[in-house]
A = this chain, B = another copy of it.
Amino acid sequence: MGKLLNGGLAVGGTLLAFGALKRALNPRPRYAPWEKPRYEDFEKRVCIVGGGFGGYSAATKLTELTNGREDVGVLVIARDNFFTFWPMVPGIVSSDIDSRNVAQPLRRALITAGASFRRAKLKEIDHENQRIVTDGGLDFPYDQLVISLGGQPNFFGIPGVEEHALHMRGVEDAEHIRNRVIERFEEVSLMRGEVPESKLTFVVIGGGATGTEVASEIHTLVHEALAPDYPNIDPNRVRIFLLEGLPQILPELDPSLQRAARTRLFNEHIEVMTSTFAEEVTEDQVRLKGGDVIHSENVIWTAGNRPNVAIHDLGLPVDERNGIKVDEYLRVEGFPGIWAIGDCAAIRDIREGFEGRYVPPTAQAAGQEGYTVAKNILATLDGREDELEKFAYKPLGQLVELGSDFAVNEVMGVRFSGLAAAIFWRLAYLVRLNSPQSKIRIAADWISALFVRPAVTQVRGTSQE
């Protein structure tokens, strides 16, 4: 009898724990499907265009601030129904993590928070009627409008970059880079006789966080995943170059961390060239300023960003290099009710010592701008204009991962590097992922990577003959 009771209690307890965990991981949405009003029917309508870090944080902050009120409706319009978690994109190259989990489902997170979402592309703003028009001729009204269209690569007019270089603007680009490396190994493993140097030479242009991580990821992919699978290719024949125009890579970091990163890259035989500019990229070489040439058929461009060109068609004041002109409250100059944040906005840095400079176009800054714009919009809607906040960028530091067991971190003034930093990198970003499912899966991927080498599969054209 006692045994039966114990057994029953154990089963019951397990079921309760299972249910609790399931509820914790699947937050209850703010509205049930039948009680949610249409966006158009809200009294005050905030439309956010763009689903990146800026737009997403603005939308979730707004729904958080208006929790319990029923007068403010929030609509996010974005080109994709996912949200790219940038810090983990380079990790896809060496396949530590599954790309599906780096693309976070935007729709679900927003709907759970109580906002509406439509996947559409902004075509124009109908300023007179306070409506935006999207492709397909749909229009949506707004009382307050946030433009957060992001950026795009800037090639600075260097010939050949756009045609011949791979980019690094999202999940698919990272998969292209990965498939390119595998493709070169397949090609070379079929070659008899001399292998041209350009096949196995990889040139990453741009020594910021993205470029440095990509170079390191290619090293990991080649030496840890590919080398054992291609026994007839000597992995030490692979050359990886990292080119940076400034005198130092990772210019935002403290010099001690720059040194730690350089040492790591040196040990990985990644050839770092600073104060080096590419002048032309062709099919099989990179020509450098000064006349030197690197023979490579694999060039990856991470060196520059510019505001999304789509901002020119909106009838808003634009600064060619930095984006939509906004005041210190993030309001678009001369257009009351319209705000701009993120990589597409020219936001002056108001910190001391940064006079005349702009807030950098990073995911971190965009997230902070989203919070500020949410508070300012609500103050405006409620007629509390005196409570408007100036946007003050507070850099929280930078985390740069170089392989799965090394990182250089600078977090609120504290600097550290090595394995502990790599573990911190992973935990810090794991906490930041919005989707509970992605958290579980990425953690599982990392744990399984302790035991097995990542797989080398290059899925392409299974449906072709």
Q: Does A309 contact B (CB under 8 A)?
A: yes
- Which segment, of A197-205, A402-410, A411-419, A456-464, faces chain B? A456-464
Known pairs A171-B459, A462-B80; A437 contacts B448 (CB<8 A): yes
Chain B residues within 8 Å of A190, by CB: 118-120, 136, 138
Contacts of A260-302 to chain B: CB distance below 8 A: none
With both chains docked as a complex, state the minimum distance between the C-beta of A262 and any C-beta of chain B, in angstroms. 30
Of residues A31, A36, A99, A192, which shows the largest number of chain B Cβ atoms within 10 Å of its Cβ? A99
Q: Give the CA-CA distance A461 to B453 in the complex, in Å.
A: 29
- Which segment, of A387-395, A421-429, A439-447, faces chain B? A439-447
Chain B residues within 8 Å of A451, by CB: 21-22, 25-26, 436, 440
Chain B residues within 8 Å of A176, by CB: 463
With both chains docked as a complex, state the minimum distance between the C-beta of A288 and any C-beta of chain B, in angstroms. 26
Chain B residues within 8 Å of A305, by CB: none
Contact A463 B169 (CB under 8 A): yes
Chain B residues within 8 Å of A81, by CB: 182, 186, 456-458
Contact B459 A29 (CB under 8 A): no
Chain B residues within 8 Å of A231, by CB: 31, 33, 36, 111
What are the interface flags for A160-173 relative to B under an 8 Å C-beta threshold, 1 for contact and 0 otherwise? 00000001011111
Contact A82 B437 (CB under 8 A): no
- Which segment, of A1-9, A67-75, A101-109, A354-362, faces chain B? A101-109
Chain B residues within 8 Å of A460, by CB: 80, 172
Chain B residues within 8 Å of A450, by CB: 18, 22
Number of interface residues of A (CB under 8 A): 73
Contacts of A147-169 to chain B: CB distance below 8 A: 152, 167, 169
Q: Give the CA-CA distance A437 to B463 in the complex, in Å.
A: 25
Q: Give the CA-CA distance A229 to B111 in the complex, in Å.
A: 7
Contact of A440 among B26, B440, B448 (CB under 8 A): B448
Contacts of A329-387 to chain B: CB distance below 8 A: none
Known pairs A111-B228, A118-B189, A118-B190; A453 contacts B26 (CB<8 A): yes
With both chains docked as a complex, state the minimum distance between the C-beta of A50 and any C-beta of chain B, in angstroms. 13
Chain B residues within 8 Å of A26, by CB: 451-453
Q: Give the CA-CA distance A98 to B92 in the complex, in Å.
A: 14
Name the residue on B nearest A83 (C-beta): B457
Known pairs A170-B462, A190-B120, A463-B173; A448 contacts B455 (CB<8 A): no
Contact A105 B456 (CB under 8 A): yes
Q: Give the CA-CA distance A435 to B454 in the complex, in Å.
A: 10
Name the residue on B nearest A22 (C-beta): B451
The 7 closest A-B pairs by CB, nearest first: A170-B462, A444-B444, A33-B231, A437-B452, A82-B457, A440-B448, A172-B462
Chosen A-B contacts, 20 in total, with CB atoms closer than 8 Å, are A29-B228, A80-B460, A81-B457, A81-B458, A104-B455, A105-B229, A107-B229, A108-B228, A108-B453, A119-B186, A119-B189, A120-B190, A138-B190, A170-B462, A172-B463, A173-B462, A436-B452, A437-B452, A437-B454, A440-B451
